[in-house]
Every structure is written in C-alpha cells, then in structure tokens.
Structure 1
C-alpha cells in the first residue's frame, strides 16, 4: 500500500489521560510522495482552552464555540482515514489523542503509526535537532500556513515524509519505503541501521 495518512492534532495539553482534549485535527493523504487529499476540522470537546495554548496555536474558546462537536469531527476523520496507516511527527503524542478521542465514540480504529521524528533521528543524526520546523528548514522543504495549527503541521510532516522516502530510495537504495519498512527503521537501534537498510536495498 503506497497511500498514507499524515495526521496532526492541536490539543488543550499533553495527556488525554489527565483530561486533555483535542481542539483541531488535520489529515493529509499522501500517495507515492504526492498530496492527494486533505481534511481539517476544529472540534469542540466542551472544555476550555488554557490561555497559553491559545497563545501557542491561535485557537481560542470563541473559535471553538461554533465548531463541530469532537464526536462529529472524529467520526469524519475516521471515515476519511479508513484503514490507511497513519503518520505523525512525534507519533506517540498524536496516537494517544487519536485513540482516546475515537474511544469516546466507540470507534476501535487502531492503525499502525509511522513516526517522522523517530525516522529522522535514525536517518539524519547530523540535523541540528529533530523538531518538525527545524527539519523542514534543514531539508529546505516548503512551509505553509501557521505553525502549531494542525493542517500546516500535517502538511509539513507530509513534505518531510516525502523527503524521507525519496532519500531511502536515492541514498540508500530502498526500492519500496512503504509503511512496514518505515516502521522497521523507526524501531531499529542505531547500530543496526546499516544492516537493516542493506536488507531492504532493491527489495
């Protein structure tokens, strides 16, 4: 499967287990490195946004007052993704909110997550750091929209994913950098990277 769904959440905090909720979700569908579709929605979970989060994201309580309910937005997001593997930068964060918000609407979706942060740590150890914005600038990838808004961040993560797949093909000779191969790379110890990439070369 060549199609992947790159996802990003904006939230009221870092832990759904401590009551934090998603305030915005965006998904960018990528097929063979090309963006083919997009989904974005604010989502009203009935909780207040802390002022420091508003300062970071620009999302205010007033903006959420007329937004779709969290249940409606997540149902639409789930239908949009279907059974596609998901991709996120710092996927541990987005996966927690994906699962927690879907659990609230009794949706059992549990796709594998590819993490562009972990991939970048393995493939680009020389980068200044592995924050999304830094990596986008490091690779001279396009920036679009406002940072810390879900669609802009999902677009940047999609561009980074495309660069990772391109480099796996061109620099490391990997014929098919599909989601199972990407997940193998992100789980691989640094010392074993050469062996893993050799196994997938021209395979």
Structure 2
C-alpha cells in the first residue's frame, strides 16, 4: 500500500445528508498529492436531476441556476472515477463522503481500488486539544493560511489536503519511520487518544 503522502483528498457538496434517502451529489472537488506534492486537482458541479433547497443554496453558495446547465452526475462521476483510480482516499468526515462516492459510482457501475482514511478522526488523535475538529477550526489551529470560504468542494479539499500534510509532519516528529504508511493513519484514527503516542513511538 502506498505511503500516506500519496493520496487523493476529496470533498462532496450534496443535496442533503443521505444518498439512501434520495440525496445526490452537486459538486465534487479533489486534490491529488503524490510524494507530498500536489500534482492534480478536480472540480465539477453536477446536475442532480432535482432542485436543491434554499438551505443548501445558502450553505454552499451553489444555486439551482448554476446547476441547471451543469453536466450530469453520471458524466462527472465517470471522469472522477478515472481521477482517483489507483489512489488511496482521504476526506474530512470520510463516512459522509464515502457514502456519496459509493452511491454515485454504483449508479454508473464503477468502483475504486483505494482505501479511505478520515482526516477528522486522525485530527482528534493528533490535535486532541483543538477547540473542536471541524475543518475550519483545525485549519486555524494548525496555522494553515486560509481565506475562510468553506463549503465549496475544491476549497474544502484543498484545506483538508493541507491539514493532512500538517498532520503528517507532526507524526513524522513522533516516529522513527523513514516514511509514513497510509495504514498507520488508518490505525491512528481507531486508536484511543491516550495510546497514540505509544503507537507512534513503537511504529
């Protein structure tokens, strides 16, 4: 499995919270990192075939008029499946984004080979003293430059990618490993907070 510094960090904006309740993706943004360097970006609005609520318009800044002429979810997700092919995946609150990725790719009979890690769960272990573990809070806590315009998919994925890289630098200082495997980040996310230091010292 590749190292943790080679991943695709992704973020969905959606019509609601649950694809099982008929919600659809309306935007996908992603940043590809290879050996710690950003090597690609992906951003597309997509027409979900339904009107979005005023709440979602206000929350995301994405309007029904913007989506009216956007390509279909199926067209965009086919391109996105190619973009993520062969890479492990990271998202902030990954269970949410994974649900929509799985649902939208299932609609077009596509899959992906990579595994997921959740930057929010990792941050709870690496930055246990942060005020909370929302993406915007963590970006400020880690002193990552930001203009604060959250809730658009590419911007959120850019910020999550920078947070991921900051956490890798923090982890590197606590372990003797020459490279940080992706599976270690997955393990950190499931480790009790008071056991993380021992895990890293003995990795």
CA-CA distance at 1:96 after TM superposition: 0.4
Task: Report the equivalent of 1:6.
Answer: 9
The answer for the alignment partner of 1:127 in structure 2 is: 130
Structure 2 equivalent of residue 53 of structure 1: 56
Partner Cα distance (2:65, 2:129) in 1? 42
Q: 1:31 to 1:145 in 2, by over 3 A?
A: farther
Q: How many pairs are equivalent?
A: 200
1:7 counterpart SS class: strand
- TM-score, normalised by the number of residues in structure 2: 0.94
Q: 1:110 to 1:31 in 2, by over 3 A?
A: closer
Q: 5+ unaligned residues in a row in structure 1: which ranges? A: none
Measured against aligned partners, the alpha-carbon deviations of 1:6-44 in whole angstroms (never above 9, x if no partner) come to: 000000111111111100001100123221110100011
Indicate the larger mover: 50-59 or 182-191. 182-191
Question: Residue 144 of structure 1: CA displacement?
Answer: 5.3
3-state secondary structure, aligned to 1:86:
strand
Alignment RMSD (CA, Å): 1.4
Listed as ranges, the gaps of 5+ residues in structure 2 are none
Of 186, 189, 193 in structure 2, the residue corresponding to residue 186 of structure 1 is 189
Q: Is the 8 A contact 2:174 2:201 kept in 1?
A: no
Contact 2:7 2:89 in 1 (8 A): yes
Counterpart position of 2:172? 169
Q: What is aligned with 1:98?
A: 101
* Pairs within 5 Å for 1:1-203: 1-2=2-3, 3-109=6-112, 111-143=114-146, 146-200=149-203
With structure 1 as the length reference, what TM-score do the two structures score? 0.94
Q: Give 4+ residue runs of structure 1 displaced > 6 Å after superposition.
A: none
Please say if residues 168 and 174 of structure 1, whose CA atoms lie closer than 8 Å, have aligned partners that are also in contact: no
Give me the whole-angstrom Cα distance separating, in 1, the residues matched to 2:106 and 2:189. Answer: 26
